[in-house]
Chains A and B, each alone.
Chain A
Amino acid sequence: MVSVTIKNLTKKYGETVAVKDLNLEIKDQEFFILLGPSGCGKTTTLLCIAGLLKPDEGEVWLGNELVSSSGRDMHVTPQKREVAMMFQDYAIYPHMTVFKNIAFPLEVRGKDKREIVERVTTTAKLLGISQLLDRKPKQLSGGQRQRVALGRAIVRKPRVFLLDEPLANLDAKLRVKTRTELKELQRKLGVTTVYVTHDQVEAMTMADRIIVQRDGVTEQIGTPDELYNRPANLFVAGFIGSPEMNFTDCTLIKDGKKLWLDAKEFKIPVPAEIVPKLESYVGEDVIMGIRPEDLYEREFVKEGTQKNAFRMTVDIIEHVGPYLLLYLRKGRLSLVARVKHTKAGVGQEASIEMDLSKIHLFDKKTTKAIL
């Protein structure tokens, strides 16, 4: 098990820049997730780690072994990297039985028969597919194919797992179940894992750390907690969390010693502790973000939060599990609030408060977080 280090990686397909100047340090045994909308270069990054693509620029290290370097013009072939990759379409060899599929990496390495049988059997047991070993891929369901691909990846005890959207082709229920199983399996095997997904919920629930990519560019790297609570920019703030964070344009105005965020429909005081950081933005346009769960209906506000209420019309109420989603409107401003209870009905006005310690502010020009 090794760490994975990527330095200044750039990969182009002709004119398209798929990955641009990527820097990553993935720790040994870490569950690391590449997250981003489709087409942002996640698969390309994995292929570069696997050695299936040769980077145009930059270096890839596995532990302290340099495996790709554009500077030295060197490239260790995927065969010699001892990393396992699982492909989005699973890439199961259609002419081989499940047993043969899982045994393939061992056979190629010239392991002896007895060891192969033993390791394949153990792996199959671990994944609960022992009864499928004699089947051909055609006779398998989607979930079973996914297991076979996984089995082929873990049977040879690789240094790194590379998983490309392994759950994307499963139905919703199986996906949720497999998520926890996969996470548990990774912990048990202790193999450094690089996992690709475009599903932020999946990323948030499984990852030790996440990198958010967009159009080949890194937006932020951090733990799920960091990404959620301290998004580095507007894109990450909007991409992570469901329902999405509310955004609204504001102007920072100074009134004596106090700073105010003026959004036309409402005006809220900036908490004293962050005022110093905002001095330079006075008079400027900023974007304020607030997550739906940080909005409350007045009657149910907890003690101690700073109060400042404004009245909004409830357009729609949606029931989501134990919560209610209120779609609120006032003038051109619309917000979504996630609450436990509401007194207001559809079409009525509710008195809404926000948790001022939870607001996010972004520079309107750079879209970077100010706080």
Chain B
Amino acid sequence: MRFPKLGRVTLYILLIFFIFAFLLPLWTCITTSFKTLKGVIDTTPVEPPLGPLFRLPYPTMEPLITAFNIMKRSLLNSFTFTVAAMILSCLLGSINGYILTKITFKGSNTVFLFFTIGIFIPYQAVLVPLVLTMSKLGLYNHLGGLILTHTAYGIPITTLLFRNFYGLIPNSLIMAAKTDGAGTWTIYRRIVLPLSLPPFVVAAVFQFTSIWNDFLFGVVLTRGQNQPASVVLANLKGTTTVMWNLLMGGTLWYALPVLVIYLVLGKYLMRGYMAGAVKG
């Protein structure tokens, strides 16, 4: 489409302006995390950590290293429960999606509605009972508790994603497998699952980022050693008022896995967003 009134030059100037606007916070985060404290004060945040005439010793790995030491335990925690809950919620969502699209039974629409509502609820409405339940189960302040929580609250969205995809698999394929003698479970394992790579990537990428990004469940279900990276970073922000380089270093570490995934698998994440999956 052409836009005669608006020159192409203006268009690109606008687009590039927005690039700056969208990347400015992230860029200053990177520059600052490589600066000494003196550098933070002497230079503006947008400047790279080089200092006037490249002479002052502003560039340093110090903040990143210190931040990593503060965060490494929590990063490992985050990684553990994120991967576990991602796998579990994707598997369950896939089976639900299969049942809801390929096995007709009375009330399948009701079941779907039952799951769908779970996508939209504000988690505040379940927090207290959730904490009490986890204490009862002995999973309070335990990675298992976070795995269970994120799996349970992930099921609605993964179910939606898989259901949308499985709606596109022709029913004749399933019927053929039935007359060929395959039972419900065999059909899932031998026909549906091998065709599910794309939705699994979409669901997994979405689940990984949203579980990794979570703060609320982490802050109410864990303390000390078992806290996820999000909570540790928030605490770091709460306790330092001047150590911006350290804080930005921590931010960078915590953002890194999602940034990598975004770079490599961003298009699948977009497909998830477009299919109606949105963070809580």
Contacts and interface: CB of A to CB of B under 8 A. Distances in A.
Chains A and B come from one and the same complex:
yes
Contact of A104 (B170, B172, B177, B183): B177
A93 B179 contact: no
Contacts of B183: 79
A206 B161 CA distance: 46
Contact of B173 (A78, A93, A108, A109): A93
B181 A91 contact: no
A109 B191 CA distance: 15
B176 A95 contact: no
Contacts of B175: 47, 50, 52, 78, 85, 87, 91
Interface string B148-182: 00000000000000000000001011011111111
Given A85-B175, A87-B176, A93 B182 contact: no
Contacts, number: 59
Interface secondary structure of B, over-half rule:
helix
A81 B175 CA distance: 13
Nearest to A107: B190
A68 B186 CA distance: 23
Given A93-B191, A95-B195, A108-B186, A79 B178 contact: yes
A89 interface: yes
Contacts of A367: none
A79 B187 CA distance: 11
A104 B187 CA distance: 11
Contacts of A78: 175, 178-179
B194 A104 contact: no
A79 B194 contact: no
Contacts of A104: 177, 180, 182, 190
A1 interface: no
Interface string A49-71: 01110000000000000000000
B179 A81 contact: yes
A207 B175 CA distance: 26
Contacts of A89: 170, 172
A85 B179 contact: yes
A94 interface: yes
B182 A91 contact: no
A83 interface: yes
A47 B179 CA distance: 10
Interface string A104-137: 1100110000000000000000000000000000
Interface of A: 47, 50-52, 77-79, 81, 83-85, 87-89, 91, 93-95, 104-105, 108-109, 152, 156, 162
Given A50-B175, A79-B181, A84-B179, 7 more contacts: A50-B179, A78-B178, A78-B179, A91-B172, A91-B173, A93-B176, A156-B180
20 contacts: A50-B175, A50-B179, A52-B175, A78-B175, A78-B178, A78-B179, A84-B180, A85-B179, A87-B172, A89-B172, A93-B173, A93-B177, A94-B195, A104-B180, A104-B182, A105-B181, A108-B181, A108-B190, A152-B180, A162-B179
Top 3 nearest A-B pairs (CB, nearest first) are: A91-B176, A105-B180, A91-B172
